[in-house]
Chain A
Amino acid sequence: MSSLPRLHVHLVAWSDEPWDVEGSLFSLVTQEHVALTVSVAVPTPLQQFVSEACVRLARLGGPVELQASTPRAWAPDAEAVTVWVAGTVAAPDQLGRALAACRAERALAVASTCRVLRQSVPGHPPYVLGKTRRFTSSTPTLPELERDPAFLGRCVVPAARAPGWFPGPAEEHRRWAAAAWPAGPVTRIPGPPAVDLPDLRPERSVRSVDDVRDVLAELRYQAPRWLERRSPVGFSRLRGLYHRLRGDDH
């Protein structure tokens, strides 16, 4: 029996794209410092595929229980739960760090994230067209997050706060979150983006202050990298100056 803290991940597929499910499962079985129960709900055409994928990926070992169906209840020994939409992928330390943040602050923990815009390629995995950073406030609000239909993939919810049912379509994800949100504090997990969310927004134009903040977050990330490519020496000097002004040991 694993002594690691347990987290229950419910993975939902909104499309028939097998690569999205495979990618999310591969990300889950390679998570570190946490034991996982993973349940998977997919459209009928993917059911056989998911059963095989669970067997295939279980062979990699690790403290992960994979079940290719929706259970009646969250795993009783899970300290926290999360809901991923297929296509979501996380850094290997993300769920362990999120669980630690949940425990330390008795809070719903929200990870910083990138949006990943993909193009479907028949017979091949989706091709990633672009990846952009999102702004995340220190106390993330539900309206800020739910502009991304797959937003629950960046939230880890203490089991005691999690509604007892499993959300399916996007509308249910919003309802599920609305029930979990008011029951206690919400915190942002420190550090760089740890979760890649599939960009499933029907509308991608900049329409709100939150959208502008996302654009600025992306610019803040890309501008130094652009300078580094154009002028590595200039970039190095500016970086040195920045660290000296901050009093960093660099």
Chain B
Amino acid sequence: MARIRIGIVLFENSRAELERLARSLSASELGPDLQLELRALDNSPTAALEPVVADLLGPDTYVRTGGNRGYGVAHNLGMREAFGARADAYLCLNPDAVLHPRCLRQLWATAGLPDTGLVEARTFPEEHPKPYEPRTGDTPWCTGTALLVLPGAFAGTGGFDEGLFMYGEDVDLSWRVRAAGLHVRTAAGALVHHWVEHRPLTLERELRVLRSAAYLGRKWGDDAFAARYERLYEIRAGGPPEPQSPLPVPEAARGIADLAHGVRFARSRW
């Protein structure tokens, strides 16, 4: 029996959103060999979601993280706990996602391919345009919407880079997992409904993307890339971003990063 710990990072979510997610978790076809454990990691300033989570996801699933330090920090907390308790995998799951009933099974099946570190579900109805190999699922990087992390990937990397508050942390983790010699894969049959196209690109969100892009450029050894996005940040924000000094990755690993395709970080199929 394999145990998958599912970590859901919350921040002032609506009950309706969590109901949809909880329904899809209940509808999941696991089969006899999979067991789920849930953790709701709440970054909200109050514990208002605690009774909602207890009602929808069950007792003893709620954890307050103690402040909004971002997606990666909360999941690292969840992964440390999960792998410390010998979970077979940890699923980073967005609270605004809806899993197809076969999503978890398909993720787990792909996780069984040799030397797998990360497995992403395929976002639906808008699939990410980065390519993947149709049979093995090998892909340049995995998105964080529904991302299965295997113990070897966590052990080899320590999880997400906590210097990234939001956006780009999935890209960075994928590159580091690949640098550690593991594969990152798309489970094409694992569908996760995640609709964000209608969300306006607010200045705050745009600035976070730009800041993360610059951070990745510095970290992965492309200062020109970083400078472009720092300059853009300055234009959009009316002032430079706070200085960021990520620990650069070793020279030998830098070839893995794809900074030639802007903030898509891979060739696009469309």
Binding site for B on A (CB under 8 A): 19, 22-23, 26-27, 30, 56-57, 59-61, 89-93, 119, 121, 124-125, 127-132, 192, 196, 228-233, 236-237
Min CB gap B226→A, angstroms: 12
Q: Is the CB of A130 within 8 A of B191?
A: no
A196 to B27, CA, bound (A): 26
- Contact pattern, B 152-193, Cβ under 8 Å of A = 1, otherwise 0: 000000000000000000000000000000000000110101
Let me know if B23 is at the binding interface, CB within 8 A: yes
Q: Is the CB of B124 within 8 A of A23?
A: yes
Q: Is the CB of A91 within 8 A of B197?
A: yes
Min CB gap B206→A, angstroms: 10
Min CB gap A154→B, angstroms: 14
Name the one of A27, A90, A93, A124 contacting B189, with C-beta atoms under 8 angstroms: A124
Q: Does more than half of chain A's interface fall in helix, strand or loop, or is it mixed? A: mixed
Q: Is the CB of A60 within 8 A of B197?
A: no
Interface size class of B (residues with CB under 8 A): 35 or more
Interface-lining segment among B53-61, B74-82, B230-238, B239-247: B230-238
Q: Known contacts being A26-B193, A233-B232, is A127 close to B134, with CB within 8 Å?
A: yes
Q: Is the CB of B135 within 8 A of A121?
A: yes
Q: Is the CB of A124 within 8 A of B29?
A: no
Binding site for A on B (CB under 8 A): 20, 23-24, 26-27, 29, 98, 100-102, 122, 124-127, 129, 132, 134-135, 188-189, 191, 193, 195, 197-198, 228-229, 231-232, 235-236, 261-262, 264, 269-270
Q: Is the CB of B125 within 8 A of A92?
A: yes
Q: Is the CB of B134 within 8 A of A121?
A: yes
A30 to B127, CA, bound (A): 15
Q: Is the CB of A61 within 8 A of B23?
A: yes
Q: Is the CB of A129 within 8 A of B125?
A: no
Q: Is the CB of B125 within 8 A of A59?
A: no
Q: Is the CB of B188 within 8 A of A125?
A: yes
Q: Is the CB of A91 within 8 A of B195?
A: yes
For A61, list chain B residues within 8 Å (CB): 20, 23
A30 to B125, CA, bound (A): 10
Min CB gap A158→B, angstroms: 25
For B197, list chain A residues within 8 Å (CB): 91, 192
For A127, list chain B residues within 8 Å (CB): 132, 134, 188
Q: Is the CB of B195 within 8 A of A124?
A: no
Q: Known contacts being A57-B101, A91-B197, is A196 close to B23, with CB within 8 Å?
A: no
Q: Is the CB of B24 within 8 A of A60?
A: yes
Q: List 17 A-B contacts (CB under 8 A).
A: A23-B191, A27-B125, A56-B27, A56-B102, A60-B23, A60-B24, A60-B27, A61-B20, A61-B23, A89-B125, A91-B198, A92-B193, A124-B188, A127-B134, A232-B262, A233-B228, A233-B231
Name the one of A119, A229, A231 contacting B134, with C-beta atoms under 8 angstroms: A119
For A60, list chain B residues within 8 Å (CB): 23-24, 27, 98, 101
A91 to B126, CA, bound (A): 8
Q: Is the CB of B98 within 8 A of A30?
A: yes
For A130, list chain B residues within 8 Å (CB): 269-270
Q: Is the CB of B124 within 8 A of A89?
A: yes
Q: Is the CB of A90 within 8 A of B125?
A: yes
Q: Is the CB of B264 within 8 A of A229?
A: yes
Q: Is the CB of B269 within 8 A of A128?
A: yes
Name the one of A26, A231, A237 contacting B124, with C-beta atoms under 8 angstroms: A26
Min CB gap A86→B, angstroms: 14
A129 to B134, CA, bound (A): 10
Min CB gap A80→B, angstroms: 20
Name the one of B29, B126, B188, B262 contacting A228, with C-beta atoms under 8 angstroms: B262
A129 to B131, CA, bound (A): 9
For A93, list chain B residues within 8 Å (CB): 198
Min CB gap A67→B, angstroms: 18
Rank and list the top 4 A-B pairs by shortest CB-CB distance, nearest first: A229-B262, A59-B27, A131-B270, A127-B134
A91 to B100, CA, bound (A): 16
Which B residue's beta carbon lies closest to that of A232?
B232
For B191, list chain A residues within 8 Å (CB): 23, 26
Which B residue's beta carbon lies closest to that of A25?
B100
Q: Known contacts being A57-B101, A124-B135, A132-B270, is A196 close to B125, with CB within 8 Å?
A: yes
Which among B102, B126, B261, B270 has the greatest number of chain A C-beta atoms within 10 A?
Answer: B270
A19-B189, A125-B189, A127-B188 known; 19 other A-B pairs, CB under 8 Å? A22-B100, A27-B124, A27-B125, A30-B125, A56-B29, A56-B101, A57-B101, A59-B23, A59-B26, A59-B27, A89-B124, A89-B125, A92-B195, A124-B188, A131-B269, A229-B261, A229-B262, A232-B232, A232-B262
